[in-house]
Every structure is written in C-alpha cells, then in structure tokens.
Amino acid sequence: MSIRATTAAPALDQWIRKLDHAALDAPWTQPGPLIKPKKSAMEPKLWRWREIEPLLRQSPEFMKPGRGAERRILRLDNPGVPERTAAHTISVAVQYLLPGECAPAHRHTPDAIRFMLHGEGAFTTIEGDKFRMRRGDLVVTPSMTWHDHGNEGSEPVIWTDGLDSPVVRYLENLLGQEFEGDAQPIRTGPPARHLHYTWETAYAELMTRAKGDADPFDDVIMEYLDPATGRSVVPTIGCYLQMLRPGVRTRAHTQTSSAVYHVVAGSGATDIGGTRYAWGEGDFFAIPPRVAHAHANPGDAPAILFSFQDVPLLKTLGFYRVEDSPA
Ligand SMILES: [Fe+2]
Ligand SMILES: [Fe+2]
C-alpha cells in the first residue's frame, strides 16, 4: 500500500511537470473547483466632497497651470479594486481645469461620460462640435471620438467623469492617440449627432417621472438614453438621475451590477450591506455587485443623485439580475 502511494506521487509530479512543459494544466489535480471562484473585490465606499474639494483645489500646486495640466484629475480609489478605480468596471474621477487651460485633443478606446459639477465657462469639443458644459450637463465622448476640453471662464471648473477603461483594459484593447495641436478646429455647418443632455432637460424629465409611479428600489429614477436608439449612452455604462423625495425609504434589493453615485443635491443615507453611509451634496459612493442596498431621505428637501452603473454591460452578457432583499 505505502509502496503504491510513494510511487504514484512522484509519477504524478513528473506528469504535471510534463504538462507544464507542454503549457497545459490539469486543474483537477488541485483541490477545489475547476474554475476558481473570485471574491468580489469592490467594496462599499463613500468619498466626501469636503475631503475631495480642498485636495482638488490644491492640485495645481503640484500639477502646474498651463500646458501639461491638461488632465488634472483625482480618481476615486476603491480600496478593494487592485486597479484603484471606483468600481472594477468603471473609473470615476473629478477633474479641475483653471481659467484659460485646455485639455488637448485626443481619442481613446474607452468611452467617457462627463457630468458637470462647478464653475462657468467649461466646454468639450467632440469631433469638431463644441458644447458648453454647465452645472448638471452630461456630455458623452464615445470610444475613439476626438475630444478636447477648455475653460473659457474666469474661475476654475470641476466636472466628474466616468470611463469604462477597466473593462477595455481587461479586454486588452486600451489604445489612444494624441491630436496634432491642442484644440480641434470647430466644424462649420450643423453639428453631427452627439449625446449632450442639459441639466434643464434631464431635470424636467425627472420631474415628469415624479408624477407617475415611484420605483420601490429607487423612488423616482430616469436613465439618460440615446434618443435615436433608445439605448444606454454607451454600451458598458448607463447614466441615471434620480430623486429621493422627502421622507422616502426605498426597499432593499441586490443587483448583479455595480454603481457609483454622486450626490447632486440634498442629503440622505444609503444602507449598503448592513452599513449605513450618510451622504450630502457633492459626495460620491460606490455599491458593489450583489450587495443589498436601500436609500433613505429622512430630510424635508428632495435628494438628487446621479449615477454611473454597469447595467448595460451586465444585460448584454445576460447576467443582469435584480432581487428583493429582506430588510
Ligand atoms: Fe479623454
Ligand atoms: Fe439599486
């Protein structure tokens, strides 16, 4: 018996070495399932505007004004995501541009979505079409479209952007290209079709929704859609605007998708996996996949939330599920 055991093990070791040599793996020779489960790395996380804002306003001391200051961002770093992005699928940052500065034109495979936060005078030029960005406006720069940004105002401007760069990176298709010259020439003639939503339009739509039935999990919510196709703004990320009316407490649910929220106005709290995260204007928070969450607005003013969610990607893959979660 013992002779058999001692002869079998070296034979197996030898065979595994042969497999290694042939670039093959027999996963059943190791304990556990053939496909190793991966624990979700993304964690619930709250980023406070009162911490973000002063650090952002100090950033020109370290990234000097002018040329080279083009993409002065602070990226939301989720402690559980090795790539240091807000979600494992979505990279979210806040960007700071001083008066007169220009973020030179470039293009890249990741889709990018910008939501304007503060300051007057910011613009984005996409494929030669220039768009003003006012507080609450949303501008989409789809994969491989040329884009540059500038600040023609007299005060710094701040926006937040969401990119699907972690997905593109995982798919090993992260590519980019610099434009020749800083800013694209502005096209003449009617602009091409671009996704640009003003705050007035989005807010009016949200108010219209508020007259209808509320969503049990999100209260009053709308997704920004491409009017031509009815689809999400980009294939990977959906953008949402929602209102939690005063006194509302939503039902808890789980989703297979992940989300990064920005508090546009008001205050409230979100219970994520049994921990309560109280948030106020300007804060960001992240909800990992399959973690039960519920929102509450105990105050007497509406709370407005903007969010990036990887719902379209999950739907495309056939993995999108929503489940009621016991409170
Ligand atoms: Fe870019
Ligand atoms: Fe949710």
pLDDT per position as a tens digit, 36-52? 887 768 999 999 999 99
For residue 71, the CA-to-ligand 1 centroid distance in Å is 8
Expressed in angstroms and rounded, the spacing between residue 250 Cα and the centre of ligand 1 is 36
The class (CATH top level) of 199-324 is mainly beta
Q: How far is the CA of 112 from the centre of ligand 1 (A)?
A: 7
pLDDT value, residue 66: 65
Give just the sign of the alpha carbon dihedral 192, 196, 201, 205: positive
Those residues of the chain that have pLDDT short of 50 are 1-3
Predicted pLDDT at 151: 95
Residue 70 · residue 101 · CB < 8 Å: yes
Burial letters for 95-120: b for 16+ Cβ neighbours within 10 Å, e otherwise?
A: bbbbeebbbbbebbbbbbbbbbbbbe
CATH code at 45-197:
2.60.120.10
Ligand 1 centroid to Cα of residue 165, in Å, is 10
52 CA distance to ligand 2 middle (Å):
24
162 contacts 90 by C-beta, under 8 angstroms: yes
Per-residue model confidence (pLDDT) at position 1:
43
How many angstroms is it from 218 CA to the middle of ligand 2? 6
Domain with CATH 2.60.120.10 in the chain: 45-197, 199-324
CA–centroid distance, residue 216 to ligand 2 (Å): 10
- Nearest ligand (C-alpha, residue 290): 2
| Ligand 2 centre distance from Cα of residue 132 (Å) | 31
pLDDT at 68: 57
Q: What is the pLDDT of residue 256?
A: 97
What pLDDT shows up at residue 181? 80
- How many angstroms does the Cα of residue 152 sit away from the middle of ligand 2? 38
Q: What is the pLDDT of residue 67?
A: 59
pLDDT at 78: 98
H or E stretch covering 139: strand 138-141
Give the per-residue pLDDT at 9.
Answer: 79
| Residue 296 pLDDT | 98
Q: How many CB atoms lie within 10 A of CB 66?
A: 12
- Å from CA of 50 to ligand 1 middle: 26
The alpha carbon of 293 and the centre of ligand 2 are apart by a number of angstroms equal to: 6
